[in-house]
Amino acid sequence: MVFYSIHPLSHPSIHAIEAAVVMKFVWPSIKNDCRKWAKTCLQCHKSKIHRRIHVPMGLYLLVSRRFDEVHLDIIGTLLSSEEKRFCVTLINKFNRWA
């Protein structure tokens, strides 16, 4: 009953559930019970990403001259100014000039 009154509102994290329950109730295995109950919530498992994929940084070669490598990007959509809603940026990798 305690968990059902706190948890379904927004499916908070295990730590948030523990904090909310501990503020209002006391029993010997309160934290352990909160963890067990939260881990069995199917809705939490569907809506939360527990693991993120971390891709290692790639190896990039140094450039020795201007314009050997440039980076191009488009910024938008911006507030319309004379029907121009995008900004193109070009950055030279050698000296980082835009």
Coil vs helix vs strand at 5: helix
pLDDT band at residue 62 using 50, 70 and 90 as cut-offs: confident
pLDDT over threshold 90, residue 73: yes
Residue 1: predicted pLDDT: 63
The residue among 74 and 59 whose pLDDT is bigger is 74
Quick: pLDDT tens for 2-57. Answer: 766 766 666 667 788 788 888 888 889 888 888 888 778 777 666 666 566 777 88
Residues listed for the chain: 98
* DSSP three-state, residue 6: helix
Averaged pLDDT for residues 44-73: 80
Whole-model pTM: value is: 0.41
Residue 90 has what pLDDT? 93
